[in-house]
Amino acid sequence: MRGAVIHGKGDVRFEERPAPTIQHPTDAVIKMSATCVCGSDLWTYRGIATVKEPTPFGHEYCGIVEEVGSAVRSVKRGQFVIGSFFASDNTCPHCRAGYQTSCQHRELVAGAQAPRLRVPLADGTLVATPDLPPDDLIPSLLALSDVMGTGWFGAEAADVKPGKTVAVVGDGAVGLLAVLSARQMGAGRVIVMSRRETRQKLARTYGATDIVPERGDDAVARIMDLTEGVGADSVVECVGTQESMMQAIKSTRPGGSIGYVGVPHGVSLDGQDLFFRHVRLHGGPAPVRRFLPQLIDLVWNRKIDPGKVFDLTLPLAEVAEGYRAMDTRRAIKTLLRP
């Protein structure tokens, strides 16, 4: 089969790779219905995270179970399933606590930008939809594999509560879905920091009440203006730079919480500065698996439509163009169809 492989900075190729097979009795192999390009992989694409050897790329997936190992019980051939970028057993202490991305037996699921994918620990990782989905639901179901679950975790980690004021740093797909998540959780006011018109529009569709186009300390000043000098109750950080992290911390009121889901690159925090700010920090790779049943239900009943973040759809063979479009910000997020 042919799939995406990253060779180095800006070099994604669609090339021959071995087709996946069942390697362990707990594996499943799925036939991909749709996959996509993740903003977190742009760090690698831009050469900020290095590639040691050609590596199968992509970690967001949904599709039809084609084959299962002899020990798999909870999913079967022919079901439509979604899973997270980390496979998890869903039984260890960390999984039971709701942190499946810290599973004691976690395995990274890589190489999803391909027609077929091996998913380890299928029982603990994959969740089936109630039935085969209609085609128009596939983008929103695919979004649950990472980006929507990550936005949701960001909002949850930021302790979003009904009626509260939420600020979102970052207008990429995760930031936009953090807006949607905050609204679902009943936030009273959702301020999103964004300077691009198409993204501002989608943020409003998802329930943003205020848009702040400034960055850095200017953005913090605007948040303070908007909250009568208090700061936001909850802030979701969806970028991962020093500037965005400080913007999040300084925008939070004393006693407030920051959920950080942008993969940090070169971020360092000053302990004493943090001490006197009185804020909570919680983040990390989103335990998407925890949220899958609830989010599948919301999508299945058409209560949320996270698939709107896909503003570019390409055939899988054009995966390299999918990365270019996101790298240059021509696209918010690229969906790929095998």
Residue ranges in contact with Zn ion by CB under 5 A: 88-89, 92, 95, 103
Structure tokens at 94: 């960390």
CB of 158 to Zn ion, least distance (A): 25
* Beta carbon of residue 208, minimum distance to Zn ion (angstroms, whole number): 35
Shortest spacing between CB 98 and Zn ion, in angstroms? 11
Closest approach, Cβ 103 to Zn ion, in A, equals 3
Q: Which is nearer to Zn ion, 226 or 288 (CB)?
A: 288
Q: Which residue's CB is nearer to Zn ion, number 74 or number 209?
A: 74
Q: Which is nearer to Zn ion, 88 or 181 (CB)?
A: 88
DSSP 167-202: EEE--SHHHHHHHHHHHHTT-SEEEEE---HHHHHH
Exposed/middle/buried for residue 162 (C-beta within 10 Å: 0-12, 13-18, 19+): exposed
- Name the region of 203 (left: φ>0; alpha: ψ -120 to 50; beta: rest): alpha
Which is closer to Zn ion, CB of 72 or CB of 298? 72
- Provide, rounded to whole angstroms, the least separation between the CB of residue 281 and Zn ion: 24
- Do 177 and 199 form a contact (C-beta atoms < 8 A)? no
**Which is nearer to Zn ion, 103 or 226 (by Cβ)?**
103
41 DSSP assignment: G
Q: How far is CA 103 from CA 14, 20, 264, in A?
A: 31, 23, 21
